[in-house]
Amino acid sequence: MRIGMRVQYSGGFREAAQEIGDLEKAGLDMVSIAEAYSFDAVSQLGYLAAVTERMELTSGILQALTRTPTLTAMTAAGLDFVSDGRFTLGLGASGPQVVEGFHGVRYDAPLARLREIVEVCRMVWRRERVVHEGRHYTIPLPPDQGTGLGKPLKLINTPVRERIPITLASIGPKNVEMTAEIAEGWEPIFFVPEKARETWGASVDAGLARRDPALGPLDVRVGVPCAIGEGLEGLREQSRADLALYIGGMGARGKNFYNELTVRYGYPDAAATVQDLYLSGRKDEAAAAVPDEMVAATSLVGPRSWVAERLAAFRDAGVTTLVTSLVQPDRADRLRTVEQLKQLALDL
């Protein structure tokens, strides 16, 4: 099991980048940069490429629907170049709240679009002339839709790799099935090991049945808050606010994918309560209504022995990469946590 980290830079990105060098020496395998409606992930990944040597750099995630497929491919090839072949392209459809509300782009047919985007990216990286006729993207643009001057082109540069790994963030049944079929990696959210099989197993199996063996085994990447030590219950509780934000606030009623996932996990009453409270502005009460069991199950915050048990549960559920959020405020504590977590993973 590989150990990664989501970069937290509330105190400053340069300071976070400096710490990442020490974490790399401690055994950290990868870092992931998020992109919501914050700073873009691309510029920061380029910065990290210059100050790291070994670890994988991942976009976690680029919003696929707000970029053209070829721009996505160019960006990935550029990041792979400046990192000497250490980049993984994390993609996701995000949701209408961000795609339409912040970008002004229609949230339309996300699964079909993602499949086409992956096809075009791989075509670009092979330096083929890009000719794609899909339901949602046509390259080059046909004469009746443009000037008629467009012609098939191929990437000028030769990429470091003609197949850059792609990880798709997905939680819905059809989206997970597609991910298992076409992507090197899968990034679910709020992963509860004991409920993963009943929640996603059928979708993963269906996708794997159609998977090209050349893609290799599916890399299951799971994000978790992490801190190892005694008396850290308060740090575990901090994740309630994030859970409440997604379950209650990331979408309208009937259009919240994370709320639907919570229902599928077996918490329908809690999902409804959290959403009601959050949408009425009672955010603290919404956080308090997140089930204790869900808070603990999606976390690796606690004593070393407890973390070791939970780590084994994640492994048994098929997780191959842990993408941690290091929640301890002290830099030395975060470094020790990575060292301990790396050792616990090796012991498994």
- On the question of a cis peptide bond just before residue 182, with omega within 30 degrees of 0, the verdict is no
Confidence bin at 254 (pLDDT 50/70/90): confident
- Position 84: which residue type? D
Q: Tens digit of pLDDT for each residue in 269-300?
A: 999 999 999 999 999 999 999 999 999 999 99
User: Do strands 321-326 and 300-302 pair parallel, antiparallel, or not at all (unpaired)?
Assistant: unpaired
Read off the pTM. 0.94
pLDDT exceeds 70 at position 100: yes
- The residue length of the chain stands at 348
- On the question of a cis peptide bond just before residue 140, with omega within 30 degrees of 0, the verdict is yes
- Position 66: which residue type? T
Q: Could you give the 3-state DSSP secondary structure of residue 118?
A: helix
Separation between Cα atoms, residue 95 and residue 251, nearest integer Å? 8
pLDDT score recorded for residue 252: 83
Q: What is the DSSP letter of 141?
A: P
Q: Tens digit of pLDDT for each residue in 59-81?
A: 999 999 999 999 999 999 999 99
Architecture of domain 2-223+304-347: Alpha-Beta Barrel (3.20)
Retrieve residue 81's tokens: 């170049």
Instruction: Give the residues across from 169 on adjacent strands.
Output: 187
Q: Tens digit of pLDDT for each residue in 149-171?
A: 999 999 999 999 999 999 999 99
pLDDT exceeds 90 at position 31: yes
Retrieve residue 147's tokens: 């000037």
Residue 233's Cβ-count burial label (10 Å; 0-12, 13-18, 19+) is exposed
- pLDDT over 90 percentage in the chain: 88
